[in-house]
Structure 1
Amino acid sequence: MFDYETLKIIWWLLVGALLIGFAIMDGHDMGVCSLLPFVGKDDEERRVIVNTIGPHWEGNQVWFITAGGAIFAAWPLVYATAFSGFYWALIAVLWALFFRPVGFKYRSMVHNDKWRKSWDWGLFIGSFIPAVVFGVAFGNLFLGVPFSFDKYLVSTYTGSFWALLNPFAILCGLVSATMLIMQGGAFLAHRTVEGIQERTIKLTSISAIVMVVLFVLAGFWVKSLDGYVITNAINTQGLPNPLAKEVTRQTGAWLNNFAQYPLAWIFPALGVLMPIITAVLLKARKTLTAFITSSLAVVSVIMTAGISLFPFVMPSSSDPRSSLTMWDSVSSHLTLMVMFYVVLILLPIVVSYTSWAYSVMRGKVTKAYIKEQEHTLY
Structure 2
Amino acid sequence: MEVTKVLHMNGGMGDASYAKNSLLQQKVILMTKSITDEAISSLYNNLSSRETICIADLGCSSGPNTFLSVSQFIQTIDKERKKKGRHKAPEFHVFLNDLPSNDFNTIFRLLPTFHQSLRKQNMGEDGSLFDPSNCFVTGVAGSFYTRLFPSNSLHFVHSSYSLHWLSQVPDGIKNNKGNIYLTSTSPASVHKAYYEQFERDFVTFLKYRSEELMKNGRMVLTMLGRKNEDRFSQGCSYEWELLATTLKLLIAQESIDAEKVDSFNVPAYNPSPSEVMHIVEKERSFTIDILKTSEIQRNSCDDEKYDMAKSFRSVAEPLLVSHFGHDELNMDQVFHKYNQVIANDRKAMEKIMFVNVTISLTKIN
Report the TM-score when normalising by structure 1. Answer: 0.28
Whose helix fraction is larger, Structure 1's or Structure 2's? 1
Whose strand fraction is larger, Structure 1's or Structure 2's? 2
